[in-house]
Structure 1
Amino acid sequence: MLLQGKQIYVKPVEESDADALLKLEVENRDFFQRFTGLREEAFYTRQGQLERIQEALESSKGDQGYLYVIGLRDTEEVIGEIMLTEVVRWNLQSCWIGYFLDQRHNGKGYMTEAVQLVVKHAFQELKFHRIEAGVMPHNLGSIKVLCKAGFHQEGIARKNVNINGQWEDHQTLAILNEEDHRSQSQVQRYNPSVIAPPIGPYTHVTKVPKGAELLVLSGQVGTDMEGGLPDDMKEQVENTLANIQRLLAAEALSADHIVKINIWAAQQVDWVHFHQVWEKFHGGKAPAMTMAYVPALAMPSIQVEIEVWAAKW
């Protein structure tokens, strides 16, 4: 995995990075010490860095933490570290983010870019819902980095972290995965792996967002805008789906809001044609659907009728 930015790249740490991390830590020892806990001398040896990397790799395998290195794209020089720690899954899906950047490269926008890359990866690939950060209030540069990356300030945690031998207050910042909110605000369709895939263009399970308003469109038939009903079954199918789209649009809805569709046909359906217009109608993942042949509908001229249930939020 390699996360490419405009000026820098971010990648998971490897054992081969031991020398580069040692150089980074030794050259920035006094600078980094102002923002971290006290470290033993062994930390500033190649063996110490190698053991640190090995522990990080084990943490990554166990989904307990992730350590990345930051490098310059033009020279591939390692100029920083960024880590996700304190991973909690289940009902929290959260972690903490921390980072260190070579003092010579502060103020160039590198860390803002690195944080943005890692946050995007953490949300999209690692499926975190919330990422938190703690910064000493006087570290305005780091707070600025996080705010530029989309974090918001939440409050002060008093004397909560031992930094360089002293208990320090920290400004708490956090960023939320907005995709989680959007997915909870939409009808979700999926096919569980516990049963075989659908045998047709429909979805097994539909989840309706909490608090949604339920709308039911009574069975629609294939009349045109003037109320005329064509004899051709294909035209009736097309007209019926077009009428449903108009009704949905009138309620500021689309096919994405559909919870369930019931289709009744009194004549044989041309499935090649139906699949074409059906795919165009739903424009993506097909909704839940029941299709049945019946002896007759309300009028002999009606060959197909479709009922729609939709959710509005």
Structure 2
Amino acid sequence: MQPGDGEMLAAAYERNRQHLAPWDPERDDRFFTPEWQESHVAASLVESDAGRSARFVLIRDDHAIVGLVNLNNIVRGAFWSADLGYWIDREHAGRGSMTRAVAAVREHAASVLQLHRLQAATLLHNAASQRVLAANGFERIGIAPKYLRIAGEWQDHVLFQRILAA
């Protein structure tokens, strides 16, 4: 992610508004504007510069954003861990793009950020996301009841982890 991505992110989110709605928190109309997205990019870059997150955009040949992979809540100390999140454009779903993107970010987390562990959570019925995680060596570690407020409701999630280094 870099300054100036706000307009392309707004277009990607608007294009995928219905596709992402069952998997995302409820969003108000401001979220889908270039201005809101650009302010979020700026805040994300501050978090990245502070070592608390890392955000990566997936782009097509025409430079349109078609997905996002995030490492959030990076913690050092005794933990050296982060939360992994991602989404893919509806037109690119099911083609292996996100599996490859998560693999690249997983490698970045291990080699560049030198993290020990990544954690991810999916809705119980999100089989596609669970396949992405399984293909990247994540193991299921449990169920978190009412873990996140998604689509307006507190929903249960399956938790996964991947140990990156011994």
The interval holding the TM-score normalised by the smaller chain is over 0.9
Larger Rg: 1
Give the one of 45, 51, 65 matched to 2:53: 65
For 1:168, give the aligned amino acid.
Q
- Which residue in 1 is equivalent to 2:79? 92
Which is bigger in relative contact order (C-alpha 8 A, separation at least 6)? 2
How far apart in 2 are the matches of 1:144 and 1:108?
Answer: 12
Match status 1:36 vs 2:3: no
For 1:151, give the aligned amino acid.
F
How far apart in 2 are the matches of 1:86 and 1:61?
Answer: 13
For 2:48, give the aligned amino acid.
S
- Displacement of 1:137 after TM fit? 1.2
Identity over aligned residues, as a percent? 30
Flag structure 1 segments of 5+ consecutive residues without an equivalent.
Answer: 1-12, 182-313
- Which residue in 2 is equivalent to 1:109? 96
Counterpart secondary structure, 1:34:
helix
Moved over 6 A (4+): none
Match status 1:76 vs 2:87: no
For 1:158, give the aligned amino acid.
P
How far apart in 2 are the matches of 1:21 and 1:63?
Answer: 22
Give the one of 157, 160, 163 matched to 2:144: 157
8 Å contact 2:140–2:158 — kept in the other structure?
A: yes
- Displacement of 1:40 after TM fit? 2.2
For 1:15, give the aligned amino acid.
P
- Displacement of 1:17 after TM fit? 1.5
Counterpart secondary structure, 1:162:
strand
Counterpart secondary structure, 1:91:
coil
Flag structure 2 segments of 5+ consecutive residues without an equivalent.
Answer: none
For 1:157, give the aligned amino acid.
A
- Displacement of 1:165 after TM fit? 1.0
TM-score, reference length from structure 2: 0.96
How far apart in 2 are the matches of 1:40 and 1:62?
Answer: 28
How far apart in 2 are the matches of 1:158 and 1:43?
Answer: 27
For 2:25, give the aligned amino acid.
G
8 Å contact 2:138–2:160 — kept in the other structure?
A: yes
8 Å contact 2:7–2:35 — kept in the other structure?
A: no
Count how many residue pairs are aligned between Structure 1 and Structure 2: 166
Q: CA RMSD in A?
A: 1.1
Q: Provide Cα deviations, 1:80-103, integer angstroms capped at 9, x if missing partner.
A: 011011111100000100011101
- Which residue in 2 is equivalent to 1:126? 113
Counterpart secondary structure, 2:23:
coil
How far apart in 1 are the matches of 2:65 and 2:101?
Answer: 12
For 1:131, give the aligned amino acid.
L
